[in-house]
Structure 1
Amino acid sequence: MLAAMSASALSPRSQGAASARSSGDACPGSLRLHRADDGALARVRIPGGVLTVAQAEALHEAARRLGDGDVHLTSRGNAQLRGLAPDCGTELAQVLGDAGLLPSERHERVRNIVASPLSGLDDRELPDIRPWLTELDRLLCRSDRATGLSGRFLFALDDGRGDVDALGADVTLIASPADGGAVLRIGGHDTVLRLPATGATAPAAALVAAETFLEAARDSGAWRVKDLPDDVRAALPARIAQELSGTSPAELPRPSLAVAPPPGPVPAGPHGAVALSAGVPLGRLAPAQWQLLVGTARQCGGELRFTPWRGVVVPGAPADRVPELLAALGAAGLITGDASPWTGVGACIGRPGCAKSLADVRAEAGAAVGPPGRLPVYWSGCERRCGHPHGEWVDVVATADGGHRVTVVRDGGPHDPVTVPPGSSSLAAAVATARGSGRRATGDRA
């Protein structure tokens, strides 16, 4: 995400604060490329992170022929292609369009939908929200009003396990396994709207909520629900309820920790096949890794699912081939078990890809990688923190003097900041301590 963020943005919002649309929506897409220091960048929206083998092959072909060859995963389960020539837009659109990755040119940047990646795959016996995903994307691409949403506005579809509910989306649908219905959360509100017992109408309700937000944001110019003035944001759920029939308010606190699918085999669901879950170090898939994943999907259920934690799920693996397939993914450098030091480690692109970055944070993250901790850690090259996690996490930010600031983010704000001076050998230890305790890092108090 390209929205600017300062250190103070991690603090609780002040009364009446709002983020106005002071300029055009600069979020990149497949048709609007973003200029970066390593070439042009395209962000391909993949609702729910779901790709067919044919679509995955098309992404690989576009990256190989037009970009740096790698596929970069984002914190919304989308894909980015980097190192593109600035004049490749027409050819890129042709490749993606032929693969069905551009169903509507007018809506391609607003198809931001994350979904529980293990929905319908594991033994949790939770509702399969795939029909919601298909229907919401269809409705979104048919709505003229939805073209007014920014490329930052986010929908989340949660099957009841709370994983993507914790991501702080603007509109979240949460399945209610007990009655087959759903609840609708607006931004971070603990007050949710309970929808009628049939969940079939839930995607339409989510679109109504987004369109109502656009009306509420007209005067403030807010990009997202959290950017609305406090009084407008507080009144938004009631305003949406007026547009929906049969809803009733309920209290449902939002989970504080967004938990990714653990790497390794996923306990078999109702169909008996096993899903494979793999993490991608720093979200970057080299051509050989990508081809291996596509080949694995072709041998299994014919599908890949990107996760908002820069991981991949491959459904439909035959039980007797699981050890063999996981071993191959691990040998290729993917994360296939909790013991991997890369579990929970993320970073922005940093130098040399981003002109605003103050450091090569990917190299720094690799040098400081250690045993997995309780909290995820994210390395940022500047105060914008592009692509940072949600919930509780360890925030490592490069500072202008060549040092770093290590902070535990909890309850929406920073806690126990620690400064690590330039050249200090204590950086890895500070990060490890913060990840392990979630309370305080070691070093010099900021």
Structure 2
Amino acid sequence: MPRCKAGIIRGLRPGSALHGFTLNTSPSVPPLVETARPSACPGLFRVVQALDGGICRIKLPGGSISSAQARAVAEAAQQFAGGVIEATNRANLQIRGIGEAHAALVERLVGAGLGSSTVSGDDVRNLMLSPCAGLDRHRLVDIRPLAEDILASLQSHQRFHQLSAKFAVQLDAGEALAMLEHHHDVWLSATEVEGRMMLAFGLAGSPVDPPLAAVPLAVGHELVFKILELFLDLARNDQARMRHLLAEYPAADFLAQLTQRLSVAPVPVSDWCRRVDTQPLHLGVHPQCTRGRVYVGTVAPLGRLDPLMLSGAASLADEYGDGTLRFTPWQGLLLPNLRERDAPHVIERLQQLGWLCSPTQALARVIACTGSAGCEKSRADTKHDGLQLAALLQQQDTELSVHLSGCPRSCAAAHIAPVTLLAVSPGHYDLYFREAGQPGFGALHARNLTIEAVGALLDARSRSPF
């Protein structure tokens, strides 16, 4: 049985927001107006089936969502699914356990203003920003206007809808709070070159990598547009990602062709060094660029939240913030624009709802994929085992970050974690440590360990002076 199978939106009322759309990828049911393209990835207009029901993915622009939209997600999950919501490592949301009411659920979300203006444009809205974009004290520029322009082009330019649903762009403005470990097909990062604000850019990497070149900030939208057009001109059908193309087509040749298409020639960038902050700035209280204003960062346990957690956070955003929430690639959210004096009370309320707000909580440092309860490819119940491991780590006062993966696909982590457990059978894992130069999960350290054995080994490692 295949892992994912596209669902169909049926029974839409004439005149409703989705009337005329179908999610069916089977040729036996003809599309009415526009059909979501075949893909194993869930989307807003494409519900895919897993062991625990249908999955609908809601892509959030820059991770941002209003309190009213957050309540709509919570209500839809409660009414039409199993009440399980997931925060993803791309700062999006997923609803799991969807039953037969595909159409009503999606119509509710679209009615709340979630999703693109077209079905085909929904897949390609993969644009990552810092969750603190525009607010971070270390930002060089407010990157959000450029992000809005790029998102508009991704949704409206029909040719870009040919891009893979996984093709992704990152915009970085030098914020201290930024996910720099996820690789993107295209990345841009603000920098000053001879007193002028520029965008360094690169392909199939992240802002910690050496850039290809840089362009003036005002050329950023044109740059992304031309990169995507050139990629589609050069890539074969089997080259869905930028790394696939660059494996055969040198980056220098790509840059040469790109230069011919741009109105302003890119310039070399020497001595590139993106500032990297290793503090857990996505958790707890942190100051913003506006004096007296802070944000509170939190994560959902193992990326899972329920409708009460989401609606409760939305109420806090209304009562103490600006009515917005910003989801993060650490599978959590920020409540921005709080008064500093209100932050302790907001944290207390979040913790009462079930959110994790401190890096001293071991569970805040553990991530796990869906596991065998929801995915037939998983070899273990990673969510259950993750809770067990977190309890052990809390007792041992071990501060390592751990990733549990039910199979080699690594759905829960888009980067190499310091410690990875790869399931081999129920309750048993191979243990990997991240190591420079090692591909995949890193260096294999031990095989076929129980969770108790993993806990003991990590405890001994944390106590070792070497």
State the TM-score bracket (shorter-chain normalisation): 0.7 to 0.9
CA offset at residue 304 of structure 1?
0.5
Residues 341, 402 of structure 1: CA spacing in aligned structure 2 closer, same or farther, 3 A cutoff?
closer
Q: Which residue of 1 aligns with 2:113?
A: 100
Report the Cα distance in structure 2 between the residues aligned to 1:339 and 1:100, rounded to whole angstroms.
37
Contact 2:283 2:298 in 1 (8 A): yes
Report the Cα distance in structure 2 between the residues aligned to 1:145 and 1:434, rounded to whole angstroms.
51
* 2:127 alignment partner, one of 92, 101, 113: 113
Report the Cα distance in structure 1 between the residues aligned to 2:139 and 2:245, rounded to whole angstroms.
37
- Unmatched 5+ stretches in structure 2: 5-36
Q: Which residue of 2 aligns with 1:405?
A: 430
CA offset at residue 422 of structure 1?
5.3
Contact 2:170 2:186 in 1 (8 A): yes
Q: Which residue of 2 aligns with 1:169?
A: 184
Matched, 1:204 2:222: yes
Residues 239, 281 of structure 1: CA spacing in aligned structure 2 closer, same or farther, 3 A cutoff?
farther
Residues 81, 394 of structure 1: CA spacing in aligned structure 2 closer, same or farther, 3 A cutoff?
same
Matched, 1:238 2:256: yes
* 1:332 alignment partner, one of 345, 350, 353: 353
Q: 4+ runs of 1 displaced by more than 4 Å?
A: 253-260, 371-375, 431-437
Q: Which residue of 1 aligns with 2:444?
A: 417
Contact 2:429 2:450 in 1 (8 A): no
Q: Which residue of 2 aligns with 1:20?
A: none
Which SS does the other structure have where 2:170 is aligned? strand
Residues 433, 44 of structure 1: CA spacing in aligned structure 2 closer, same or farther, 3 A cutoff?
farther
Question: Which amino acid letter does the alignment assign opposite residue 372 of structure 2?
Answer: R
Report the Cα distance in structure 1 between the residues aligned to 2:94 and 2:85, rounded to whole angstroms.
6
Q: Which residue of 2 aligns with 1:430?
A: 457
CA offset at residue 164 of structure 1?
3.2
| Structure ID, larger Rg | 2
Q: Which residue of 1 aligns with 2:415?
A: 390
Report the Cα distance in structure 1 between the residues aligned to 2:81 and 2:182, rounded to whole angstroms.
30
CA offset at residue 426 of structure 1?
1.2
Q: Which residue of 2 aligns with 1:77?
A: 91
Matched, 1:284 2:301: no
Which SS does the other structure have where 2:54 is aligned? strand
Q: Which residue of 2 aligns with 1:346?
A: 367
Report the Cα distance in structure 2 between the residues aligned to 1:232 and 1:394, rounded to whole angstroms.
34
TM-score between the two structures when normalised by the length of structure 2 = 0.81
Q: Which residue of 2 aligns with 1:296?
A: 316
Percent pairwise identity: 29
Report the Cα distance in structure 1 between the residues aligned to 2:426 and 2:110, rounded to whole angstroms.
45
Contact 1:193 1:241 in 2 (8 A): no
Question: Which amino acid letter does the alignment assign opposite residue 426 of structure 1?
Answer: A
Question: Which amino acid letter does the alignment assign opposite residue 119 of structure 1?
Answer: A
* 1:148 alignment partner, one of 136, 141, 162: 162
Question: Which amino acid letter does the alignment assign opposite residue 428 of structure 1?
Answer: G
CA offset at residue 405 of structure 1?
0.9
Contact 1:167 1:258 in 2 (8 A): no
Contact 2:84 2:97 in 1 (8 A): no
Residues 260, 67 of structure 1: CA spacing in aligned structure 2 closer, same or farther, 3 A cutoff?
farther
Contact 2:435 2:443 in 1 (8 A): no
TM-score between the two structures when normalised by the length of structure 1 = 0.85
Question: Which amino acid letter does the alignment assign opposite residue 187 of structure 1?
Answer: A
Report the Cα distance in structure 2 between the residues aligned to 1:259 and 1:110, rounded to whole angstroms.
31
Q: Which residue of 2 aligns with 1:11?
A: none
CA offset at residue 286 of structure 1?
1.5
CA offset at residue 302 of structure 1?
0.9
Residues 273, 287 of structure 1: CA spacing in aligned structure 2 closer, same or farther, 3 A cutoff?
same
- What RMSD in Å do the two structures reach over aligned CA positions? 2.8
* 2:239 alignment partner, one of 212, 217, 222: 222
Report the Cα distance in structure 2 between the residues aligned to 1:58 and 1:273, rounded to whole angstroms.
27
Report the Cα distance in structure 2 between the residues aligned to 1:242 and 1:260, rounded to whole angstroms.
42
Residues 435, 100 of structure 1: CA spacing in aligned structure 2 closer, same or farther, 3 A cutoff?
farther
Question: Which amino acid letter does the alignment assign opposite residue 408 of structure 2?
Answer: E
* Structure 2 counterparts to residues 1-16 of structure 1, below 5 A: none
Moved more, 35-44 or 165-174: 165-174
CA offset at residue 334 of structure 1?
1.4
Residues 229, 193 of structure 1: CA spacing in aligned structure 2 closer, same or farther, 3 A cutoff?
closer
